[in-house]
Amino acid sequence: MALVVQKYGGSSVADASCIKRVAQRIVATKKAGNDVVVIVSAMGDTTDELLDLAEQVSPLPPGRELDMLLTAGERISMALLAMAIANLGSEARSFTGSQAGVITTSTHGKARIIDVTPSRIQEALAEGQIAIVAGFQGVSQDTKDITTLGRGGSDTTAVALAAALSADVCEIYTDVDGIFTADPRVVPLAQKVDKISYEEMLELAASGSKILHLRCVEYARRFNLPIHVRSSFSAKEGTWVVSNPYSEGTEMEQPIISGVAHDRSEAKITVVGVPDKVGEAATIFKTLADAEVNIDMIVQNVSAAATGRTDISFTLPATDSQTALSVLKKIQQQVGFESLQYDDQIGKISLIGAGMRSHPGVTATFFAALANAGVNIEMISTSEIRISVIVGQGDVDTAVQAAHKAFDLDADQVEAVVYGGTGR
């Protein structure tokens, strides 16, 4: 008998009929002889509706109260799901994050999990019950207040509970069939990946893939917990995220390209004419870090000998741009740079694959493919298993398609079906 943790996002429980379908899948898993713990997000639009109500009473609601409000969303979906399961003749019990023992920091809106003490879940399982747990929420260790985990919170709840319960697998249900070699909306011939390593999945998540959140993959890697990403709309196997997907493979010496990710949500800021002195770059990035701006790629030009000045470009989430520009302007005199340039019409293309670094040909093939497609590269950064480039936003689709084709990732026929909706 295995212990299976399943996580269903908001689009999987959007209305009563969705909830009933999910209930059937859960009961089937139970009847197949498994212990089952289910993590569930708020129904479809609930979160947006609650945020809208909050906005009507207060332009800047206190974080504690916003968390209290939003956690009503999972309370509704988890109770309904437990009812739907009971209606199928199985026993289920729903638990809030607090009841499930999800202990967090007290940073409202983006609390981090400190500990998981799932004694009530274990009791329920011992009594033969299916345990339904609210995703996205916990209780703060210090203040005993209700917290939310922020983006990717439900996935993180699922992985954290699975780890605490020593589950055999954490199944993340979504509205696509798994992880694809590229976004099927951009590359219709993208293929589903059967297995992928935590490291590649982390790079994919960091590069714009929205299927799994960085936090949940990091958590799973730490506890070596297998994640199975699959569709709640079909019974097909999805993608397994594991520590070593290639152990049985015969092509160990071949570079294995897992996929091409893209991200349109970043912007680029160039600090023009920075005096080429020790410590100027440090001042700039210290200032940005103090303002909690997340920096992604950084490029510094070779200093022009004639002027003694250099340009520093970096990318960041477009949503952080106003903060970044404003704090940088405040240190313009101190640092002595000439001006700031801002561009949000960019996109990032990332090629991810194990063993990439030891195969220089990968980079050459990637750049050649972009050049042949007429795509100009603005910035480059690399890691052990990833190459990312910044291109003009209008070139993103062309670039992704060209790279996908160049690495023989195109399938013979379209296999992806993309459904709507995003969870939390």
Which residue positions form the known binding site for substrate? 47, 74
Site residues (CB under 8 A) for a copy of itself, limited to 114-173: 120, 144
When the beta carbons of 76 and 327 are compared against a copy of itself, the nearer one is: 76
Distance between CA atoms of residues 419 and 216, nearest Å: 22
Q: Is 189 in the site for a copy of itself (CB under 8 A)?
A: no
When the beta carbons of 81 and 242 are compared against a copy of itself, the nearer one is: 81
| Residue among 48, 70, 69, 51 nearest 59 (CA) | 51
Name the E strands within 161-278: 169-174, 195-197, 227-231, 239-242, 256-263, 266-275
Binding site listing for ATP: 7-10, 174-175, 185
When the beta carbons of 92 and 379 are compared against a copy of itself, the nearer one is: 92
Residues composing the chain: 424
What residues contact 221, with CB distance under 8 A and at least 6 apart?
A: 198, 199, 202, 243
Distance between CA atoms of residues 287 and 261, nearest Å: 30
Q: Is 93 in the site for a copy of itself (CB under 8 A)?
A: yes
Q: Which of 1, 33, 59, 247 binds a copy of itself (CB under 8 A)?
A: 59
Q: Is 228 in the site for a copy of itself (CB under 8 A)?
A: no
When the beta carbons of 76 and 272 are compared against a copy of itself, the nearer one is: 76
Region from 62-70, 219-227, 313-321, 339-347 binding a copy of itself, contact rule CB under 8 A: 62-70
Instruction: Tell me how crowded residue 247 is: count the other CB atoms within 10 A of its CB.
Output: 9
When the beta carbons of 61 and 421 are compared against a copy of itself, the nearer one is: 61
Assigned token pair, 153: 């919170």
When the beta carbons of 69 and 212 are compared against a copy of itself, the nearer one is: 69
- State the nearest-atom distance from the C-beta of 171 to a copy of itself, in Å: 22
Distance between CA atoms of residues 193 and 180, nearest Å: 6
- State the nearest-atom distance from the C-beta of 188 to a copy of itself, in Å: 36
Binding site listing: 7-10, 47, 74, 174-175, 185
Q: Is 89 in the site for a copy of itself (CB under 8 A)?
A: no
Q: Is 21 in the site for a copy of itself (CB under 8 A)?
A: no
What residues contact 264, with CB distance under 8 A and at least 6 apart?
A: 208, 347, 393, 396
Name the E strands within 105-161: 113-116, 130-134, 137-140, 146-148
Q: Is 57 in the site for a copy of itself (CB under 8 A)?
A: yes
Distance between CA atoms of residues 330 and 325, nearest Å: 9
Assigned token pair, 97: 């994050």
Q: Is 87 in the site for a copy of itself (CB under 8 A)?
A: yes
Q: Which of 76, 295, 299, 373 binds a copy of itself (CB under 8 A)?
A: 76
Pairing of strands 35-40, 130-134: parallel
- State the nearest-atom distance from the C-beta of 35 to a copy of itself, in Å: 20
Q: Is 26 in the site for a copy of itself (CB under 8 A)?
A: no
Q: Is 106 in the site for a copy of itself (CB under 8 A)?
A: no
Q: Is 209 in the site for a copy of itself (CB under 8 A)?
A: no
Assigned token pair, 352: 């991810």
Pairing of strands 137-140, 102-104: parallel
- State the nearest-atom distance from the C-beta of 87 to a copy of itself, in Å: 4
Q: Are residues 55 and 66 in contact, defined by beta-carbon separation less than 8 angstroms?
A: no
Distance between CA atoms of residues 201 and 214, nearest Å: 8
Which residues contact a copy of itself by CB under 8 A? 16, 19-20, 23, 50, 53-54, 56-62, 64-66, 68-69, 71-73, 75-76, 78-84, 86-87, 92-94, 99, 120, 144
